[in-house]
Amino acid sequence: MADKSVILVTGGTGLVGSAIKYVVENGEKRANEEWVFACSKDGDLSDTDSTRAMFEKYKPTHIIHLAAMVGGLFRNLKYNLDFFRINSKINDNVLAMSHEFKVKKVVSCLSTCIFPDKTTYPIDETMIHNGPPHNSNFGYSYAKRMIDVLNKGYNSMHGCEFTSVIPTNVYGPNDNFDLEDGHVLPGLINKAYCAERDGTEFVIWGTGAPRRQFIYSRDLARLMIWVLREYKEIDPIILSVSEAEEVSIKDAAMSVLKACDFKGKVTFDASKSDGQFKKTASNNKLRKYLPDFKFTPFDQAIKETVDWFVQNYETARK
């Protein structure tokens, strides 16, 4: 990326996009780079003409593609067809315009939920298409899988350098802290904040035993910038902490409570489902490339996220 580079980040104001912006503005930006963080107000990426207009406006040389229609479990269950059709249109338009405008490289963001429902663990990059995803979000999952198919197609037909990353459970500032539709960590943070504020007990749903690999959004941002600059494969790469750094839901909750300075009563509601015990992903491929990459310690990243949420409580998504 020696020449002048214009890097367009779609979905640039969400959890990951805002983390990339933070990292870029705090030392990662290079002198030859111009970064553009686009959001839905800048254009409808599910519409071809609108997507083309965005490309004509910014003339990107590189793209980090984060934009997607997203939602929690119940929204996915209700709108699986919409999730498939809208995300398929978004992804097709972004990659088609990237080819048309001769973009040098595209890095798209997938999700571990795209992996087969019935699989062996740890999951790795070779297993994406080995069986159907979980039925609850098949629309979103298949649309995301098709990015990998498109990447291979554009590379084989046109030599395009289009690739993708697969992060595990992302959390950090600018997350969606909604108690119903948010993910587990931001939900715990919001619940702990409210319990401390209102003097109520803190209830953890389930036994707290399931384990998850959480990746701090700012660590993910640094890794995605590395992928944009250095990673040469078309095949995807999982961006995650190691299996040894998996955290139980109970330990995650305790870290949140410590960061919130919560002094009240903690109980477990074992009548609530635990879900899958583990969904371990292998980060062996990442470690072959970056054996010395340092992830932010979990407790420190949780504290930074809690502090951001408290400071931005009135405007945070919740």
* Predicted confidence pLDDT, tens digits, the chain (318 residues): 558 999 999 999 999 999 999 999 999 999 999 999 999 999 999 999 999 999 999 999 999 999 999 887 778 888 999 999 999 999 999 999 999 999 999 999 999 999 999 999 999 999 999 999 999 899 999 999 999 999 999 999 999 999 999 999 999 999 999 887 778 899 999 999 999 999 999 999 889 999 999 999 999 999 999 999 999 999 999 999 999 999 999 999 999 999 999 999 999 998 888 877 888 999 999 999 999 999 999 999 999 999 999 999 999 998
pLDDT score at 210: 92
Nearest 5 degrees, angle CA 214-CA 243-CA 252? 35
- 172's torsion region: left (phi>0), alpha (psi -120 to 50) or beta? left
pLDDT score at 274: 80
Check residue 173 and report its DSSP letter: T
pLDDT score at 1: 53
User: What tokens were used for 209?
Assistant: 């035993």
Catalytic residue among 22, 58, 140, 142: 140
Separation of first and last alpha carbons in the chain: 39
Active site residue 289: no
pLDDT score at 182: 74
pLDDT score at 276: 79
Maximum C-alpha span of the chain: 62
Alpha-carbon gap, residue 223 to 20, rounded angstroms = 10
User: What tokens were used for 243?
Assistant: 């299996």
pLDDT score at 180: 77
Domains of the chain: 5-170+213-243 (3.40.50.720), 172-212+244-278+297-311 (3.90.25.10)
Alpha-carbon gap, residue 117 to 133, rounded angstroms = 5
Is the sign of the CA dihedral 279, 245, 184, 146 positive or negative? negative
Q: Determine the 3-state secondary structure of 108 from DSSP.
A: strand
